[in-house]
Amino acid sequence: MHPILIKIGPVTIHTYGFMIAIGFLVALYFAIRQAKEEGLKSNIITDLSFYILVSAIIGSRLLFVLINFSYYISNPLAIFKLWEGGLVFYGGVILAVPVVLWYVKKNNLKLWQIADIFAPSVAIGHAFGRIGCFFAGCCFGKTAETLPWGVIFTNPDCLAPLNVRLHPTQLYESAGEFINFFILLLLQKRKSYNGQVFMTYILIYSVLRFIVEIFRGDFARGFIISGISVSQGISIIMFLTSILGILILRNKKN
């Protein structure tokens, strides 16, 4: 595709980073809008969004580095080359959670209310981020020579294998997250207890990610056991956690 959006002299803007920035701004808009509807100040959302962004990037990169530790121990400077892709979404979630807990406690906020406000925003931000992955060629799919909608990467700056028809797994996940976003927006208006929107997000995304992983072809993401990737293992845990969370929060509400 087009991993480099603009290059003027020494200045290079990578499409991957640009799409992440767009996703963040769109996500921030929806979070602020929902917060205002619930009577919260916008600065609470902007501050927390910044902390989430930083922790998510660090966490998602750290998990990718751990999965590919043998490579990065020999190439430590490559850890900082974020424009080349290599962010595991679940790693961002794992690190962002304690940061959110800290911020919520510090500012005496309602945890599940805040989680519900951010859930649709995380989904749409992630959807834009996966489009960035598509342009960069990272998170590519398995070969699919007869697939009508298969994608062939030809740009030598892409991270995907060149001149081979592949499953556009980045777009699969992006489309799934856009659908997730709209479902959560509808649920946000009809929820019966705090935490319902967030747990639904985790439920839908864990299923989506598990399915998309079946078509992934970048083996650098690591495997727990034969045929089960690290992300699929985390998806199973997150799915079970979301079911338990829904049951607990619903019963607590009653």
- Sketch the domain layout of the chain as residue ranges: 4-253
pLDDT grade for 167, boundaries at 50, 70 and 90: very high
Q: Report the distance separating Cα 141 and Cα 151, nearest Å.
A: 9
The stretch 180-188 carries a mean pLDDT of 97
Nearest to 15 by CA among 84, 99, 86: 84
CA within 13 Å, CB half, 135: 19
* pLDDT higher than threshold 60 for residue 254: no
Q: What is the pLDDT of residue 221?
A: 59
Q: Report the distance separating Cα 59 and Cα 252, nearest Å.
A: 31
CA within 13 Å, CB half, 94: 17
* pLDDT higher than threshold 60 for residue 241: yes
Please name the helix (run of DSSP H) or strand (run of DSSP E) that holds residue 5, with its range, or none: strand 4-8
| pTM for this entry | 0.85
For residue range 46-66, list pLDDT tens digits in order. 999 989 888 888 888 888 788
